[in-house]
């Protein structure tokens, strides 16, 4: 992929950094941090490895003769039902070469005690490209979601929480120079038909790979001062919701100090440009960004992952300690946001 570096975007990003450092925002607060910490500590390398067993090292793509997508859908369903949830599916159709193919969005709802039709949505795509087992991309996001669902099932939350496993993220199409992701677009269309206005969407895509190696510099690392060693998680949001990113960063620093991360907020105009930020169109969060919905994209980034869309995206590439920290973070944020725990 080739990028053209824009000086204007470079200076805008520097201005953004200065402004975000001086912004005063509400912070998460809770009187049961010790209880939440005890719960979060049940997310372990072992529990994550057990969840990963639901995902064979086989592609999850409808055109792949070895595809395990039918079996994996049933695995996810059974696991969520074992936690006490009702599981529904939403058919998604992909038209390709004069034929139609189907996969399901897998949807699990945790009902809040006093919902305001502003749900929290935790999401990840569960399909793969052909010929790739897709363990980091994106069984890792699905595994984190399963663990968060396990912990939240026994907790009271004010707002509804939806856990959504998207189909067909890997077979997007282009329309008006913008990407359309079939699974998340189908789900969002249903939300809009119900007049549901999500409070927060967290989309996870590739969240389990680390390396201590420093890759070759790329256009983004030249333009923006962010880490080049791949031992951290990226957190992207829209500039119109910078406060959410700052709250999440503060929580991570205070509650999970060993989690290395880098956060950045961008405008939709930047993402829809043909400049360096256009690569941020490349997952289901973009479906929500186009509607100006508060959405956080969490990723270790394909720029840092040499096995991206390859047959070598296998379970031995997963850093389970890193994945544990990211999953604990998502659990904390999901719980606190759904209970409006701010000060």
> What is the mean pLDDT of the segment spanning 156-161?
96
Mean pLDDT of 69-97: 97
Least confident of 75-84, 187-196, 300-309: 300-309
Please provide residue 93's backbone torsions phi and psi, each rounded to the nearest 5 degrees: -110, 135
Q: Is the pLDDT confidence value at 216 over 60?
A: no
Question: Per-residue pLDDT tens for 4-23?
Answer: 334 344 444 433 443 344 34
Per-residue model confidence (pLDDT) at position 12:
42
18-27: Cβ within 8 A, 24+ apart: 20/242, 20/245, 20/246, 20/265, 23/242, 23/243, 23/246, 25/243, 25/246, 25/247, 26/243, 26/247, 26/342, 26/343, 27/247, 27/250, 27/251, 27/342, 27/343
What separation, in Å, do the N-terminal and C-terminal C-alpha atoms of the chain show? 43
Backbone angles phi, psi at 33, to 5 degrees: -60, -40
pTM of the model: 0.90
Phi, psi of 110 (to 5 degrees): -105, 115
Rounded Cα–Cα distance for residues 258 and 261 (Å):
10
Q: What is the pLDDT of residues 159-212, one digit of tens each?
A: 999 999 999 999 999 988 789 999 999 999 999 999 999 999 999 999 999 988
Q: Once rounded to an integer, what is the mean pLDDT over residues 79-98?
A: 97
Q: Are 275 and 172 in contact (CB under 8 A)?
A: no
């Amino acid at each position: 992929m080739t990028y053209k570096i824009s000086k204007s975007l470079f200076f805008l990003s520097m201005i953004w950094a200065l402004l975000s450092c001086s912004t005063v925002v509400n912070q998460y607060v809770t009187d049961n941090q010790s209880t939440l910490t005890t719960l979060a500590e049940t997310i372990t390398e072992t529990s994550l490895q057990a969840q990963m067993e639901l995902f064979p090292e086989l592609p999850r793509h409808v055109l792949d003769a070895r595809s395990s997508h039918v079996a994996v859908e049933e695995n996810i369903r059974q696991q969520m039902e074992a936690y006490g949830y009702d599981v529904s599916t939403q058919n998604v159709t992909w038209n390709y070469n004069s034929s139609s193919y189907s996969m399901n969005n897998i949807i699990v709802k945790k009902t809040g005690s006093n919902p305001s039709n502003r749900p929290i949505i935790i999401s990840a795509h569960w399909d793969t490209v052909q010929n790739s087992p897709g363990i980091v991309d994106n069984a890792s996001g699905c595994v984190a979601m399963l663990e968060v669902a396990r912990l939240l099932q026994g907790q009271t939350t004010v707002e509804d929480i939806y856990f959504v496993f998207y189909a067909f993220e890997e077979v997007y199409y282009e329309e008006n120079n913008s990407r359309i992701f079939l699974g998340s677009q189908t789900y969002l269309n249903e939300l809009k038909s119900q007049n549901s206005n999500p409070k927060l969407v967290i989309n996870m895509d590739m969240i389990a790979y680390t390396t201590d190696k420093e890759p070759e510099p790329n256009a983004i690392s030249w333009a923006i001062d962010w880490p080049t060693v791949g031992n951290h998680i990226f957190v992207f949001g829209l500039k119109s919701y910078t406060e959410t990113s700052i709250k999440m960063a503060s929580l991570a620093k205070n509650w999970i100090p060993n989690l290395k991360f880098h956060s950045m907020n961008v405008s939709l105009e930047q993402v829809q440009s043909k400049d360096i930020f256009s690569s941020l169109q490349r997952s289901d969060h973009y479906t929500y960004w186009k509607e100006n919905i508060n959405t956080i994209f969490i990723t270790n980034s394909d720029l840092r992952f040499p096995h991206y869309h390859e047959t070598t995206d296998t379970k031995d590439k997963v850093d389970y300690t890193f994945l544990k920290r990211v999953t604990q973070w998502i659990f904390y944020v999901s719980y606190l946001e759904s209970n409006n725990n701010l000060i």
